[in-house]
Amino acid sequence: MKTVTITLANPPELYLEGQNITPDNFAGKKAAEIATLDVWEGKLKSPLGKYFTVEGEGGATAADTKIVLRGDCTRVKRIGQQMTAGEIVVEGNADMYIGGWMKGGKIHVKGNVDSFCGIGMEGGELIIDGNAGHHLGSSPRGEWRGMQGGLIRVAGDAGNDTATFINGGTIIIGGNADIHVSTHGEGGTVIIKGDAKGRVGGQMVKGDIFVYGTIEYPLPGFQLVGEVEQEVDGATARFAHYIGDLGERHPVSRGKTVYANIYTRL
Amino acid sequence: MAKKIENVGCPFCGVCCDDLVVTVSDDGKKILEVENSCIIGSTVFHRAMSERHTLPRLRQPDGTFKEISYDEAIDYTAKVLHNAKKPLIYGFGSTNCEGMAAAAKVAEQAGAVLDNCASICHGSSFLAIFDNGYPSCTLGEVKNRADVIVYWGANPAHAHPRHMSRYSIFPRGFFTGKGHKGRKIIVIDPRHTDTAQVADIHLQVQQGHDYDLFDAFRTVVRGHDIPDVVAGVKKEQIIEAVDIMKKARFGTIFYGMGLCHSDGRNHNVDIAISLTRDLNDFTKWTIMAMRGHYNITGPGAVWSWQYGFPYCLDLTKRDIAHMNPGETSSVDLAMREEVDAFINIGTDAAAHFPIEPVKRLRKHPWITIDPHPNMATEISDLHIPVGIVGVEVPGIVYRMDNVPIQYRNVIEPPEGVPSDEELFERIYERLCELEAEDAAREPAKAAPEGARAGE
Q: Are residues B172 and B271 in the same domain?
A: yes
Q: Does B263 touch chain A (CB under 8 A)?
A: yes
B446 found inside a domain: no
Measured CA to CA, the distance from residue B408 to residue A37 in angstroms comes to 53
Domain boundary among B289, B324, B344: B289
**Contact across the interface for A199 and B338, Cβ inside 8 Å:** no
Q: Indicate the SS3 state at residue B397.
A: strand
Considering only CB atoms, A247 lies closest to which of B218, B227, B340, namely B218
Q: Are residues B279 and B308 in the same domain?
A: no
Q: How many angstroms away from the CA of A15 is the closest CA of chain B? A: 6
Q: Which of A101, A174, A198, A160 is nearest to B231 (CA)?
A: A198
Q: Indicate the SS3 state at residue B428.
A: helix
Q: How far is CA B1 from the centre of its chain?
A: 38
| CATH, residue B401 | 3.40.50.740
Q: How many angstroms away from the CA of A153 is the closest CA of chain B? A: 22
**Contact across the interface for A179 and B263, Cβ inside 8 Å:** yes
B30 found inside a domain: no
Residue A49: list chain B partners with CB under 8 A.
Answer: none
Count the Cβ atoms, other than its own, within 10 Å of residue A165: 26
User: What DSSP designation does A52 have?
Assistant: E
Measured CA to CA, the distance from residue A35 to residue A186 in angstroms comes to 42
B21 found inside a domain: no
Measured CA to CA, the distance from residue B378 to residue B64 in angstroms comes to 10
Q: Are A39 and A56 in contact (CB under 8 A)?
A: no
H or E element in which residue A5 lies? strand A2-8
B386 found inside a domain: yes
Q: Indicate the SS3 state at residue B47.
A: helix
**Contact across the interface for A29 and B226, Cβ inside 8 Å:** no
Q: How many domains does chain B have?
A: 2
Rg, C-alpha atoms of chain A = 20
**Contact across the interface for B222 and A36, Cβ inside 8 Å:** no
B36 found inside a domain: no
Which of A4, A13, A15 would you mutate first to test chain B, the one with the most B CBs within 10 A?
A15
Count, in order, helices (H) and strands (E) of chain A.
2, 21
Q: Indicate the SS3 state at residue B238.
A: helix
Q: Are residues B266 and B142 in the same domain?
A: yes
Count the Cβ atoms, other than its own, within 10 Å of residue A82: 17
Sign, CA dihedral B227-B228-B233-B235, equals positive
Amino acid letter at B381? D
| CATH, residue B157 | 3.40.228.10
H or E element in which residue A152 lies? strand A151-154
Sign, CA dihedral A50-A51-A57-A63, equals negative
Q: Does A135 touch chain B (CB under 8 A)?
A: yes
Q: Are residues B80 and B152 in the same domain?
A: no
Cα distances (Å, whole numbers) of residue B410 to A58, B386, B394 = 68, 16, 9
Q: Are residues B210 and B266 in the same domain?
A: yes
Spatial CB neighbours of B33, under 8 Å, sequence gap ≥ 6: B22, B23
Q: Are residues B260 and B348 in the same domain?
A: no
Measured CA to CA, the distance from residue A52 to residue A55 in angstroms comes to 10
Q: Are residues B328 and B228 in the same domain?
A: no
Count, in order, helices (H) and strands (E) of chain B.
18, 21
Q: Are residues B127 and B271 in the same domain?
A: yes
ipTM above 0.85, yes or no: yes
Residue A184: list chain B partners with CB under 8 A.
Answer: 131, 270
**Contact across the interface for B215 and A140, Cβ inside 8 Å:** no
For B150, the domain range is 123-289
B32 found inside a domain: no
Residue B278: list chain A partners with CB under 8 A.
Answer: 247
**Contact across the interface for A142 and B221, Cβ inside 8 Å:** no
Q: Does B317 touch chain A (CB under 8 A)?
A: yes
Q: Does A138 touch chain B (CB under 8 A)?
A: no
Q: Which of A50, A99, A17 is nearest to B317 (CA)?
A: A17
**Contact across the interface for B219 and A220, Cβ inside 8 Å:** yes
Domain boundary among B274, B289, B304: B289
Q: Does A256 touch chain B (CB under 8 A)?
A: no
Spatial CB neighbours of B244, under 8 Å, sequence gap ≥ 6: B148, B184, B186, B201
pTM here is 0.94
B7 found inside a domain: no
Q: Does A221 touch chain B (CB under 8 A)?
A: yes
Q: Are residues B229 and B314 in the same domain?
A: no
Q: pLDDT tens string for chain B (455 positions)?
A: 789 999 999 999 999 999 999 999 998 889 999 999 999 999 999 999 888 999 999 999 999 999 999 999 999 999 999 999 999 999 999 999 999 999 999 999 999 999 999 999 999 999 999 999 999 999 999 999 999 999 999 999 999 999 999 999 999 999 999 999 999 999 999 999 999 999 999 999 999 999 999 999 999 999 999 999 999 999 999 999 999 999 999 999 999 999 999 999 999 999 999 999 999 999 999 999 999 999 999 999 999 999 999 999 999 998 899 999 999 999 999 999 999 999 999 999 999 999 999 999 999 999 999 999 999 999 999 999 999 999 999 999 999 999 999 999 999 999 999 999 999 999 999 999 999 998 888 765 555 555 555 55
Q: Are B120 and B446 in contact (CB under 8 A)?
A: no
Q: Are residues B331 and B429 in the same domain?
A: yes
Measured CA to CA, the distance from residue A70 to residue A93 in angstroms comes to 10
Check residue B291 and give left, alpha or beta (phi > 0: left; psi -120 to 50: alpha): beta
Torsion of CA A96, A100, A104, A105, to 10 degrees: -10
Q: Are residues B180 and B270 in the same domain?
A: yes
Q: Are residues B300 and B355 in the same domain?
A: yes
Domain boundary among B232, B261, B289: B289
Q: Which of A202, A23, A38 is nearest to B269 (CA)?
A: A202
Q: Does A140 touch chain B (CB under 8 A)?
A: yes
Q: Does B310 touch chain A (CB under 8 A)?
A: no
Measured CA to CA, the distance from residue B155 to residue B102 in angstroms comes to 34
B389 found inside a domain: yes
